[in-house]
Structure 1
Amino acid sequence: MGRIPEKHREAVRAALDELVAGRRPELMTWVDNYGAAGAELIPQPDDIWEHRLTDFVPRDDGTAYIVLPLWTSDEAPSDLSAECELSKTGQIEIIDVHAL
């Protein structure tokens, strides 16, 4: 289990909200093909910050690799996860979404 430090949560939340709102269609392949009819992402709950499937891996250069479980309208959480990169400046980029 990892814990997302509080100072990064606002940036992570913004990136996840963008994903849930459909503004990152290039990352939705696994979501659209999840299960028999695809999945619908919902606003992600605060449980993601310290969930047993959350992973926060800091690097010596001030960046970090993050994995977050994703909640859907049918599963809390689902087998979907978001992989993110934290930059030295504190920006979050979701680099991949996939099923476990």
Structure 2
Amino acid sequence: MVSPETRPPSPPRHPCANFLTIDRTGDVVPEIHRPAIRRQLDALTAREVPEQLLEWVDSYPAVLIRQPDDVWTHRYTHFLERDDGSITFEIPLWTTDESPSDLTAQIELEADGRIHIYDVHVL
């Protein structure tokens, strides 16, 4: 075992290292986060979000519906968990015509527990 006194110094960290370092990625939304994400997705469907998040929704040729439980394990669902404790989720969205559609919501769960949709776009 190398003692702390003889261990070589660590290289300097880039200022964005905490933001860029990913601890875990996945394709199944952990159950503990689903209720908070569900509230965000329901707010999007009810149009209770900032107008800029509705730009792609309004121009899409189908209407958003309440997202089914399939969204948690769908092959297009992904998340990135960073070492600062924040998690970014990419969730496909269902519409009246497609399951899922080409619409995707990006959701940020911050380390302090705040959660919000920060982007909705067409892939």
TM-score strictly above 0.5: yes
In 2: Cα distance, 1:99 partner to 1:61 partner = 28
Q: For residue 51 of structure 1, what is the amino acid of its counterpart?
A: H
Cα RMSD over matched residues?
Answer: 1.1
Match of residue 57 from structure 2: 31
SS at match of 2:120: strand
TM-aligned CA deviation for residue 26 of structure 1: 2.3
Alignment partner, residue 4 of structure 2: none
- For 1:32, the aligned partner's letter is D
Name structure 1 gaps, 5 residues minimum.
Answer: none
Matched, 1:13 2:38: yes
TM-score by length of 1: 0.91
SS at match of 1:28: helix
Structure 2: where are the runs of 5+ without partners?
Answer: 1-25
Pairs within 5 Å for 1:1-100 = 2-24=27-49, 25-34=51-60, 38-100=61-123
- Of structures 1 and 2, the one scoring higher in RCO (CA 8 A, sep 6+) is 1
Q: What amino acid does structure 2 have at the position aligned with 1:94?
A: I
Task: Give, in whole Å, the separation in 2 of the partners of 1:31 and 1:17.
Answer: 14
Asked which structure has the greater CA Rg, the reply is 2
SS at match of 1:3: coil
AA matched with 1:44: Q
